[in-house]
C-alpha cells in the first residue's frame, strides 16, 4: 500500500532524482515525473504515459498524489464560480473564479482549513482553524480554477489572489512554495506581479516577506485606520497595532519596491464617515499604496451592514480628492456566498 504520509509532491526534484537512483531507476526520470506532477497536474501515476509500467508501479508502491477534488461547484448569476474542494483527509476549502468585464479572470484561493484570527465580519473567522494547506493543495486550486476559466469562458486565468479561507502569512512556507511553483516554468509560468497575497496584518511576517524580497503583490485588510475600531473587528490588531503595521509595510516597500494595496470594507455607521476617510487618508501617507474599497457582504454570524451607495461614493471621493488611488470593488458571487468574507466551507459532499 502507498504510504499515506508521503505525497510525492513534497519532494524537490533533486530529492526525487536521488530516490529514483537509489531504487534502480534512471535519474532523468525525475524531470519527466516533475513535469507530470506540476506542469500537467497529473492526478495519478497511471496518467504518466511516457514512464514504463514498472516505473509507474514503483511510484504507486511508495507514494501518493494527494490531489484535491471538486465536491461541489456553483455558478452565480454574475458568472462567478465557487468550488468546494475536498482534501485527502475529508476537510473542505473553497475557491472562487471571478470573471471581470475588463477580461480579467481571477482565482481566489484558500491557504488554511478554517482560520484562527476571528475577524468579526468574516464567515471563515467563525470557523476553527483545522490545519494549514500544503503547497500542492493550494496549487491544485489554481489548476482547477484555470480549467474552469477555459471550460466556461474560453479565457486564460490572468490573476490569483490569496484571499480565500485562512491567513496566508500563518502558513508562510507553504504559501511561498505554492507561489514558487505557480510562477516557475516547471509549473504554471505565471508572472509574480499577477499574484496578490492578502493579510489581516502580522507585522513580523510582513517584514519577512521583505527580507525574502518577494516579487508578488501584498494587500493589507485594513478596514479601520484607528486602533480602537480595528481592535473591535479584528482582534489581531491588539498585538499588531497600526503603528507596528506601518513600520512593517515601510520595511517591505524598501526591500521590494512594491506598492501596498489597502483593502477597506465600508460598514454602515461604523467606519464610513468623513472622519474615518481622513484617518485612512493619513494612514495611506505612510507608504506608497492604493486603496480598494469593498462592499460588505452580510453573513449570518454578524450584524454588520453595507453602507449606502451615497455614503460609499462620498467616502471614495474624499480620498480621491486628496490624491489617493481608489478602486471601488463591487461584490461578485454574493448569491452563492462566494463574495469577499463569505467563504465558510459549508459543502461537505
Q: What is the pLDDT of residues 71-123, one digit of tens each?
A: 999 998 889 999 999 999 999 999 999 998 778 999 999 999 999 998 988 88
For 323-346, what is each residue's pLDDT tens digit? 999 999 865 655 545 445 444 555
Residue 296 has pLDDT above 80, yes or no: yes
Residue 1 has pLDDT above 90, yes or no: no
> Which among 185, 171, 83 is positioned nearest to 134, based on CA atoms?
171
Residue 2's pLDDT band, with cuts at 50, 70 and 90, is very low
- Secondary-structure percent of the chain, ordered helix, strand, coil, rounded to 5: 40, 20, 40
Rounded Cα gap, residues 264 and 150, in angstroms: 31
Pick the catalytic residue from 119, 122, 289, 340: 340
Give 207-258 as a 3 state SS string.
HHHHHCCCCCEEEEECCCCCHHHHHHHCHHHHCCCHHHHHHHHHHHHHHHCC
For 156-170, what is each residue's pLDDT tens digit? 999 999 999 999 999
Question: Strands across the sheet with 69-75, in order?
Answer: 69-75, 81-86, 92-99, 105-108, 159-162, 195-199, 217-221, 260-265, 289-294, 326-329
Pick the catalytic residue from 25, 94, 134, 137: 94
> Which among 264, 326, 269 is positioned nearest to 296, based on CA atoms?
264
What average pLDDT does the chain have?
A: 92
Considering the domain 69-336 in this protein, what is its CATH number? 3.20.20.70
pTM of the model: 0.92
For residue 24, give every residue at least 6 positions away whose Cβ sits within 8 Å of its Cβ, in sequence order, or none: none
Rounded Cα gap, residues 129 and 59, in angstroms: 33
Q: Tell me the CATH architecture of domain 8-62.
A: Orthogonal Bundle (1.10)
* CATH 3.20.20.70-classified regions of the chain: 69-336
Place of cell 451615497: 310
Based on the residue annotation, tell me whether 289 is a catalytic residue of this protein: no
* CATH 1.10.150.530-classified regions of the chain: 8-62
Based on the residue annotation, tell me whether 340 is a catalytic residue of this protein: yes
Amino acid at each position: 500500500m502507498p504510504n499515506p504520509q508521503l505525497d510525492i509532491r513534497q519532494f524537490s526534484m533533486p530529492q526525487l532524482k536521488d530516490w529514483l537512483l537509489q531504487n534502480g531507476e534512471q535519474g532523468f526520470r525525475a524531470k519527466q515525473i516533475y513535469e507530470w506532477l506540476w506542469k500537467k497536474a497529473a492526478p495519478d501515476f497511471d496518467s504518466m504515459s511516457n514512464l514504463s509500467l514498472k516505473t509507474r508501479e514503483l511510484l504507486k508502491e511508495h507514494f501518493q498524489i494527494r490531489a484535491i477534488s471538486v465536491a461541489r461547484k456553483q455558478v452565480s448569476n454574475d458568472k462567478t464560480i465557487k468550488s468546494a474542494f475536498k482534501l485527502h483527509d475529508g476537510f473542505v476549502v473553497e475557491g472562487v473564479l471571478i470573471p471581470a468585464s475588463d477580461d480579467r479572470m481571477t482565482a481566489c484561493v484558500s491557504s488554511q482549513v478554517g482560520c484562527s484570527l476571528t475577524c468579526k465580519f468574516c464567515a471563515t473567522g467563525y470557523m476553527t482553524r483545522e490545519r494549514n494547506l500544503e503547497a500542492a493543495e493550494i496549487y491544485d486550486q489554481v489548476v482547477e480554477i484555470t480549467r474552469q476559466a477555459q471550460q466556461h469562458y474560453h479565457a486564460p486565468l490572468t490573476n490569483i489572489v490569496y484571499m480565500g479561507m485562512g491567513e496566508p502569512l500563518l502558513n508562510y512556507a507553504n504559501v511561498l512554495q505554492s507561489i514558487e511553483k505557480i510562477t516557475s516554468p516547471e509549473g504554471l509560468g505565471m508572472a509574480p506581479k499577477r499574484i496578490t497575497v492578502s493579510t489581516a496584518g502580522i507585522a513580523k511576517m510582513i517584514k519577512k516577506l521583505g527580507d525574502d524580497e518577494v516579487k508578488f503583490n501584498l494587500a493589507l485588510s485594513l478596514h479601520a485606520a484607528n486602533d480602537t475600531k480595528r481592535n473591535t473587528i479584528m482582534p489581531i490588531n491588539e498585538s499588531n497595532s497600526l503603528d507596528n503595521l506601518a513600520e512593517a509595510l515601510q520595511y517591505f516597500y524598501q526591500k521590494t519596491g512594491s506598492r501596498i494595496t489597502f483593502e477597506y470594507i465600508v460598514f454602515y455607521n461604523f467606519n464610513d464617515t468623513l472622519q474615518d476617510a481622513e484617518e485612512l487618508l493619513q494612514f495611506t501617507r505612510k507608504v506608497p499604496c492604493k486603496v480598494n474599497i469593498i462592499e460588505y457582504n452580510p453573513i449570518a454570524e454578524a450584524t454588520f451592514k453595507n453602507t449606502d451607495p451615497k455614503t460609499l461614493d462620498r467616502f471614495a471621493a474624499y480620498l480621491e480628492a486628496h490624491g489617493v488611488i481608489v478602486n471601488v470593488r463591487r461584490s461578485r458571487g454574493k448569491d452563492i456566498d462566494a463574495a469577499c468574507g463569505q467563504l465558510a466551507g459549508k459543502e461537505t459532499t
